[in-house]
């Protein structure tokens, strides 16, 4: 089985910005995942350098 079935790239100004956006909605977002997959989500945080 392939290690990933879908990948989404979300860009935030900072880790704090991501946490402030995701955190308040995390429970609702995570509760929706079983509606479209039986796999566990994986969050990867990377830094974009230009």
d(CA 50, CA 47): 10
* Average pLDDT over all residues of the chain: 91
Q: Higher confidence at residue 40 or residue 26?
A: 26
d(CA 50, CA 4): 27
**HSE of 43 in the Cβ direction (CA atoms, 13 Å)?**
10
pTM above 0.85, yes or no: no
Name the phi and psi angles at 41, rounded to 5.
Answer: -70, 155
Nearest CA to 47 out of 18, 24, 20, 14 is that of 14
Helices within 1-50 (DSSP H only): 15-22, 26-32
pLDDT-derived band at 1, boundaries 50, 70, 90: low
């Amino acid at each position: 089985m392939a290690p990933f079935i879908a990948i989404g790239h979300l860009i935030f100004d900072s880790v704090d910005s991501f946490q402030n956006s995701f955190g308040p909605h995390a429970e609702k977002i995570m509760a929706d995942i079983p509606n479209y997959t039986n796999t566990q989500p994986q969050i990867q945080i990377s830094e974009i350098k230009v």
